[in-house]
Chains A and B, each alone.
Chain A
Amino acid sequence: MRYLKPSSVSEAADVLESSRGMILAGGTDAYVYMAEGFCHPETLIDISSIDTLRGIYVATDDREEEVIRIGACTTIAEIAASQDLPTCLRQGARAVGSPQIRNLGTIGGNVCNASPCGDTLAPLLCLDARFVLRASGGTRVIACEDFFTGPKKTVLKPNEFLEFIELPASSCGKASAFRMIGNRKGQAISQANASVSLVMVDGRMSDLRVAVGSVAPVPLRLGKLEEFLTGKRVKEVSLAMFKEPILEGIRPIDDVRSSASYRQEVTVALVFDALAECASKDSGECEGAGA
């Protein structure tokens, strides 16, 4: 096995192009896959120490819009602790693995691993995140909702890797929250998770996004529920009213971690709780990058 540690993004892209090796960031998932024999890479390309891939800052995206940019190799712990990011993403990051895993694992790794239960996926989806993918020929940008194609499957081509995640600058002005449930309270893998972001206008829910994870092959937006809730006051809605639009949207499976029926039931509760937390705040709570 070859282990390469390129010092820049362009070098990484070139090495990837020529070697078709495996990109390694924090390595917490990659190592387990190798140990379990799921993959046998001939070349590992460790991008975790490329400076430009780390950090959270304000930038201008390809559409000339202001965005919060997150380097793909920013650790999950850094995301969890950042004051510059929306609550749901920080809460999602806090739910990933253990402190030890979060200190090594990266947001890019969590995204590109594309596990349906990845805890940062639903938050990114409900924040309208966009992903900047890098290849030796240049970059392309893809919306979070188009990125995931199945369990552990994404649109990433063998010569591409994730360089940045970008969030609309407005996401910091929104209220957001994340909830998950797992088979234990500490160091748990999500049986289901939910992320909500919204803006309260005159006590009514607006600009609402609801995303759920671990209940379908990819993280899902719950459009029906968003439609149903938009314009309503939180007091007008009850958990029972949620059920139908949620159950229509999700496609959970039975597996070793949970039954499909429990995933269904609990998703309703998680969405409701996340919504309740959002509604309890009147507006955005993060400072905004660089502030």
Chain B
Amino acid sequence: MIRFKCNGKAVQLEAEPEARVIDVLRDGLGLTGTKEGCGRGECGACTILLDGKPVNSCLLLAGKIADREITTIEGIASEDGALHPIQEAFLDKGAVQCGFCTPGMVLSTKALLDENETPELEEIEEALSGNLCRCTGYGKIVEAVREAGQRLMHESDQQGDA
């Protein structure tokens, strides 16, 4: 039995500690938004946040997530279905083509922007360097990250004013 927090909710389920977290999420919890592109930590499609930090869920063993907090793509939009500013920016800027790398890209972006809403180009490239994409050529992804940062800053400014 493994207990952890997933997308803000306490979860407990039967899983072998040596099972991969990607399998626990996809098969155990039905959270199929986390994608497997290589199974070796080389493509980033399976990226989730572990205590807010991006990790490859294909390399992460279930025994390691006990009592920790996981965020998957399913936990990014708000509960009423409204998209997160990062998701909106990815759509508006054309950063999504086939979409298979997108969940991982969005999560790596979230980890970056949670720390810094106005990252330099080099910081964006560093933060997303573990997420491969074959469709976009990455330019629109960079634009989307910048745009999302701007929108988040605007949001927090507004909240600050309120």
Chains A and B in contact, CB within 8 Å: yes
Q: Which A residues are within 8 Å of any B CB, using their own CB?
A: 1, 3, 5, 24, 27-28, 31-32, 35, 44, 46, 48-49, 77, 97-101, 103-104, 186-187
**B41 near A101: Cβ-Cβ < 8 Å:** yes
Taking a contact as CB atoms closer than 8 A, the residue among B53, B63, B129, B131 that contacts A103 in the complex is: B53
**B41 near A99: Cβ-Cβ < 8 Å:** no
**A100 near B64: Cβ-Cβ < 8 Å:** no
CA distance A134 to B34 in the complex (A): 38
Taking a contact as CB atoms closer than 8 A, the residue among A27, A49, A98 that contacts B130 in the complex is: A98
**A100 near B47: Cβ-Cβ < 8 Å:** yes
CA distance A3 to B58 in the complex (A): 17
Q: Which of B55, B111, B127 has the most CB of A within 10 A?
A: B55
CA distance A49 to B44 in the complex (A): 24
Say yes or no: is B17 at the interface (Cβ < 8 Å to chain A).
yes
**B18 near A99: Cβ-Cβ < 8 Å:** no
The answer to whether residues A101 and B130 also contact, given A1-B18, A3-B16, A3-B18 and a CB cut-off of 8 A, is yes
**A103 near B55: Cβ-Cβ < 8 Å:** yes
Say yes or no: is B72 at the interface (Cβ < 8 Å to chain A).
no
Task: List chain B residues, Cβ under 8 A from A97.
Answer: 41, 130
Q: Closest 6 A-B residue pairs measured CB to CB?
A: A98-B130, A186-B129, A3-B17, A103-B53, A100-B130, A100-B56
CA distance A3 to B126 in the complex (A): 34
**A186 near B125: Cβ-Cβ < 8 Å:** yes
Taking a contact as CB atoms closer than 8 A, the residue among A1, A32, A44, A103 that contacts B40 in the complex is: A32
**A104 near B55: Cβ-Cβ < 8 Å:** yes
Residues of chain B from 38 to 54 with CB closer than 8 A to chain A in the complex: 39-42, 44, 47, 50, 53-54
